[in-house]
Structure 1
Amino acid sequence: MGSAGAFFLLSLADQKRSNCIIHANTVDDACMASVSICCCFAEATVGIMRKYTYTSQNWFAKVTAAVVPGNILTFGLVGVIGVLSHVDSDPRTASAQFLTWLTVLLWCIILPTCFLFSNGRRAWNYLSISALCVWGLFFVLRGLQA
């Protein structure tokens, strides 16, 4: 197949006569080429093929990346949200309970997301850099608030 194309399913009469597939760079070009043909369905395809197929290879490195820097990132995000919402440290308040359960929710999002990285090193790098940035933001916001 070409890099980009438009595929048209023709009307039933045209399909019985010929199975014609029109390749063009855009849908407009294909419609201009097939003025006399009744197009009942059009699907434009982008010729971008995935360079990476998602696998569970390297799963131990990815899971440890989610556990160590993923937890640090989660605690940093909850800290930033706590600083921005002026939550006190009393665990009996509703806002503190919200942040407690938000920690679980965020980490449950980060854990399966770590498998979207192509390898364990990339997961460690991205999650570690994100954790450092979030904790830096936390300390800056806390310093500005004091």
Structure 2
Amino acid sequence: LAKEQGKGLLVLTYMSHKGAEQTFEKALLAGYGKPKPAYKVFARCAVTWKADGAIVGATRPEKIVKGKRILKGEDAIYAPGGGVQGGSLEEAGKSGADYLIIGRSILRAENPGEAAETLRERAWKAAGSRGRAT
């Protein structure tokens, strides 16, 4: 439906904040046999719904890896929470994040332009040949 309207769809799969596991690790019954953690159900929804991507916190590189497996390369992973929130850009990139969402590390920097450039360079190195320019 989103694509028919010229829109995109990102499925929130695992948030980056402390305590996210209280929601995203909860077992859900969702027609996949036995109960599965919510984040796995949400990642499968991204594939079923033909979403443009899934959001998985940069603070959870192990969930990025698991999400990437479920998505089977069909959807991009957007990873917020790098920098101030504690997520490692390098770990998120190596784990399979396609896009790193970085806000506060730039906004709170003494020189936001310089911070953005430094973070961009780090993100590109972390992504290697998989990197996408934005």
Q: TM-score normalised by the shorter chain: which range applies?
A: under 0.3
Normalized per residue, the structure richer in strand is 2
Bigger RCO of structures 1 and 2 (CA < 8 A, at least 6 apart): 1
TM-score by length of 2: 0.26
Q: Name which one, 1 or 2, has greater alpha-carbon Rg.
A: 1
Structure in which a larger fraction of residues adopt helix: 1
